[in-house]
Amino acid sequence: MALTVMAQAGSAVDPGVVEACRVLAHDVDRLTLALSELIASKEPYYVTTLSLDELMDSVRPNVLGILDAISCTGADDVTAAPCRTGRLRAAQGAPLGPVQRAYRIGMSFIWEELVRVMSRDADQQALLRSATSFWNTLDLFLETLSRAYREFEAEQIQHDSRTRDLALTALFHGTHSAGLTISSIAAALRLPTEGAFVVIATDPVPVGGERAMVTTARSVTGAGGHVTWRSDPDGAIALIALSPRFTLDRLLTHLATLSLGRIGVSEVFTSLQATSGSAAEARAARGAATLGSSAVLRYGRVRVAVLLASESDVAEDLFRDVLGGVIELPEVDQTLLLATLRAWFEAEGSTAGAAAALHCHPNTVRYRLGKVSQLTGRSLTAPIDTAHLYLAMEFHRILAPRSTMADGR
């Protein structure tokens, strides 16, 4: 970029053109003001976002750079000014279109000034011979400006991505993990520090499953909520800001329609500071769901299952001690008895309720429950025995694939 356009073209610059550029360079203050006012009058963006002084600060070095490029004099790198302008406008969030149009306005303005200064016929002929190189200068400057603009955008996206990753790590794993404050995390993720929040945790997102997460994010956002999520090797995790229009019940209904495997949902919390603890709740609730299922479990409603899943060695010992006689049966008989026991618990100990759920006669339920008592040595009328049976059955549910969770009819 150090070579000017005319030098690259291999042709000497006419002395008259060089002199005209020198004259205009000495008049740069007037040119800067006039061109800045012209740009502001033709491009509304510059009126609404920049003061005239700010625009002039950018116009002046670009005018001098263009004159240097045309005359093959001055700075070694005549494209420094458009490079700076491209990065500056990208940093300001200016659309690229108006910035490019401003450059075209500037080049036309400088051409008209050259025509004015080189008014003699001989000079006019020299200027016309330089026209192609002049407009090549415009192409060079526009290319430089656009490349610098897009490079800054790419750098900013990369920086924002790193910042977001750090903020998400701190949010879900604790601020100590990244050395960030809650206020800086909230700013990076555009979140309020106070509100009504829940965290959800899913199984590892399958190929194509990201679309379901994106759909969830859009539906929550459209209903007045907000979703911030990331996909980790052990599963996706998301912070959801609830709203009066997007309540927890509505969220749970939506989650039940997704195909993301097990989903754990934390309790509602009100401070962003509590996110990492709530993330642990969501993961624990996910771990309490049946393997291979698409269950949606709220932490506060499955604390017993969470305890069993988190203390799996002890829970497995309890399971084998209590239900060992049942699980030695053929799979069909085992499934039938366990499904009947579960239906009885879900009916709050009502034989009639369990029979209705299983679509069988109450005497059938009584017979099966008697068989369970016989095989386990536990009485369904003794509170401690009943508690042991429930805990063992819950651990079996957590680990059992859905294919073994028959309906017990």
Q: Which of 25-39, 60-74, 200-214 has the highest mean pLDDT?
A: 25-39
Using DSSP's 3-state secondary structure scheme, residue 247 falls into coil
Confidence of residue 359 (pLDDT cuts 50, 70, 90): very high
pLDDT given for residue 370 in this prediction: 94
Q: Specify the fold of 311-404.
A: Arc Repressor Mutant, subunit A (1.10.10)
Name the one residue in this structure whose structure tokens are 């690229």: 96
Backbone angles phi, psi at 270, to 5 degrees: -115, -10
Tokens of 296: 């949606």
Q: Where in the chain are the domains?
A: 5-155, 191-304, 311-404
Could you say which DSSP state residue 268 is in? P
- Answer yes or no: are the C-beta atoms of 75 and 68 closer than 8 Å: yes
pLDDT given for residue 12 in this prediction: 66
- Answer yes or no: are the C-beta atoms of 230 and 168 closer than 8 Å: yes
Mean pLDDT calculated for residue range 118-123: 75
Q: What angle do CA 346, 352, 356 make, to 5 degrees?
A: 75
Note the helical H segments in 51-130.
Answer: 52-71, 80-92, 96-117, 121-129
Residue 54 has pLDDT above 60, yes or no: yes
Q: Which residue has the higher pLDDT, 195 or 76?
A: 195
Distance CA 31, CA 38 (A): 10
Residue 293 has pLDDT above 90, yes or no: no
Could you say which DSSP state residue 236 is in? E
194-202 and 269-271: which strand pairing?
antiparallel
pLDDT given for residue 47 in this prediction: 82
Q: Which residue has the higher pLDDT, 209 or 129?
A: 129
Q: Which residue has the higher pLDDT, 177 or 123?
A: 123
pLDDT given for residue 74 in this prediction: 52
Tokens of 83: 């490079």
Query: From residue 348, how far is each of 284, 303, 365, 405 by CA, in Å?
Result: 25, 18, 14, 20
Long-range contacts of 113-117 (CB under 8 A, 24+ apart): 113/24, 113/31, 114/17, 114/20, 114/21, 114/24, 114/70, 117/20, 117/23, 117/24
Q: What single letter denotes the amino acid at residue 231? A: S
pLDDT given for residue 45 in this prediction: 85
pLDDT given for residue 162 in this prediction: 80
- Answer yes or no: are the C-beta atoms of 276 and 173 closer than 8 Å: yes
- Answer yes or no: are the C-beta atoms of 168 and 162 closer than 8 Å: no
Confidence of residue 1 (pLDDT cuts 50, 70, 90): very low
- What are the counts of helices (DSSP H) followed by strands (DSSP E) for the chain? 19, 6
Residue 270 has pLDDT above 70, yes or no: yes
pLDDT given for residue 120 in this prediction: 77
pLDDT given for residue 358 in this prediction: 94
Digit-coded pLDDT (tens) for 182-202: 888 888 888 888 999 999 999
Least confident of 173-177, 266-270, 401-405: 401-405
Q: Which residue has the higher pLDDT, 344 or 214?
A: 344
Under CATH, which number does the domain 5-155 receive? 1.10.490.10
Select from 138, 152, 145 the least CA-distant residue to 80. Answer: 145
What pTM did the predictor assign? 0.56
Mean pLDDT calculated for residue range 31-39: 94
Using DSSP's 3-state secondary structure scheme, residue 198 falls into strand
Under CATH, which number does the domain 191-304 receive? 3.30.70.100
pLDDT given for residue 279 in this prediction: 94
pLDDT given for residue 261 in this prediction: 86
Digit-coded pLDDT (tens) for 77-95: 678 888 999 999 888 888 8
Q: What angle do CA 266, 268, 270 make, to 5 degrees?
A: 130
- Answer yes or no: are the C-beta atoms of 288 and 307 closer than 8 Å: no
